Amino acid sequence: MFIDEAKIRIKAGDGGNGCVAFRREKFVPRGGPSGGDGGHGGDVIMESSQRHNTLIHFRYNPEHKAERGRHGEGSNCTGRHGDSITLKVPVGTMLHDMETGELIHDFSQPDERIVIARGGRGGRGNQHFATSTHQAPREHELGRAGEEKHYRLELKLLADAGLVGYPNAGKSTLISRLSAARPKIADYPFTTLEPNLGVVSIGEWPHEQSFVVADVPGLIEGAHLGAGLGVQFLRHIERTSLLVHLVDVSDASGRPDPVEDFKVIQAELKSFGHSLPEKPVIVVATKADVANPEKLKKLQTMAKRRKLPFYTISSVTGEGVEPLKYALGKQVFDLREEQQKAAAHAG
């Protein structure tokens, strides 16, 4: 099950209380106060991990609590510090404060660690309150409470290219051809109910390069308003470098105009916003093995007029898949290089 949103409540450990104690030993006539300090409470830490790809473990276990510190003891013994806990999240997770709506952190790289709730400080024992005029203090401090927070987690998949288009346009079949991913494939709409990721490899070892493709569940008109699967999965193509727009040019779709199909989906992406309309687009005519020649020509003319890269494929027979794969790789790697240069220049 793919879960891309979760709400959690976390509680860092409370600090232990300071101790009130006095030394009472046979040969120590003026022992004085000997109350130890309380231990510090444990922190709650969040870490991004490549071994996780969903937030399902938070959906069914939303409360997490670190261990409290032990109380101080006599003979100036400090209480043990509470153990911290580490919560693992997938790379691409965004952490929001539920009360303010503020974005606390965007886990865009593996192994990023931040403290999301700090444990309370341990209280001081009565040994710290002794003075020359107050030699038998009974004062001590209570431990501080650990932080308690409510967060909202939102997962946006990290992929280089996003496959978009109407349901049954052939996105799942294409990703199964390009990568080792094995999504559910069937001849009815909305077969894909959750995003699929596939790693596409180009070249031979040791010069092999790879990029990630995301298969986003099919969109329909009104998706940005919640129609079909709505905007539930559009967030997953926000981070992609480019979009691959698949258009069915066969008669099986039941829609007469492939250009109109293209315009509808592009309008939905524009209505959703979040920089999606500015992303480079590659137009792909699918199901070439059973294509309607007039539909194919009409879509190709539109792509040429808009100066968009155009490819014709059949994921069933494999026709055109390899040229598309290498074209995707070249554009992804070029965009990566541009981003690295821009980052280096900004730094």
User: pTM of the prediction?
Assistant: 0.69
- The predicted pLDDT at position 266 comes to 87
Burial label for 237, CB within 10 Å (0-12, 13-18, 19+), is: buried
User: Is residue 11 located within the same domain as residue 140?
Assistant: yes
Written as six digits, the tokens of 256 are: 């007469």
Question: What domain range is 180 assigned to?
Answer: 161-346
- The predicted pLDDT at position 7 comes to 94
User: Is residue 216 located within the same domain as residue 332?
Assistant: yes
- The predicted pLDDT at position 181 comes to 56
Termini Cα distance of the chain: 40
CATH number at residue 63: 2.70.210.12
Of 129, 155, 181, the residue at which a domain comes to its end is 155
User: Is residue 191 located within the same domain as residue 338?
Assistant: yes
Of 107, 128, 155, the residue at which a domain comes to its end is 155
User: Is residue 168 located within the same domain as residue 147?
Assistant: no
User: Is residue 147 located within the same domain as residue 171?
Assistant: no
User: Is residue 124 located within the same domain as residue 178?
Assistant: no
Are β-strands 63-65 and 103-107 bridged in parallel, bridged antiparallel, or unpaired?
unpaired
DSSP string for residues in 2-55: ---EEEEEEEPPPPPPP---B--BTTBTT--B-PPPPPPPPPEEEEEETT----
User: In Å, how far are 164, 205, 222 from 217, measured between CA atoms?
Assistant: 8, 33, 14
Question: CA-to-CA distance for 54 and 116, rounded, in angstroms?
Answer: 20
Nearest CA among 128, 141, 160 for reference residue 334: 160
Of 155, 190, 209, the residue at which a domain comes to its end is 155
User: Is residue 189 located within the same domain as residue 169?
Assistant: yes
User: Is residue 26 located within the same domain as residue 122?
Assistant: yes
User: Is residue 28 located within the same domain as residue 84?
Assistant: yes
User: Is residue 78 located within the same domain as residue 148?
Assistant: yes
CATH number at residue 229: 3.40.50.300
User: Is residue 312 located within the same domain as residue 172?
Assistant: yes
DSSP string for residues in 323-336: HHHHHHHHHHHHHH
The SS3 call for residue 342 is helix
Mean pLDDT per segment of 10 residues, for the chain of length 347 residues?
Answer: 80 96 81 92 94 82 95 93 94 91 91 95 94 89 96 84 84 82 46 66 74 73 49 70 90 84 86 79 92 92 93 90 90 85 72
Question: CA-to-CA distance for 235 and 48, rounded, in angstroms?
Answer: 19
User: Is residue 11 located within the same domain as residue 44?
Assistant: yes
Split into its structural domains, the chain has a count of 2
- The predicted pLDDT at position 2 comes to 57
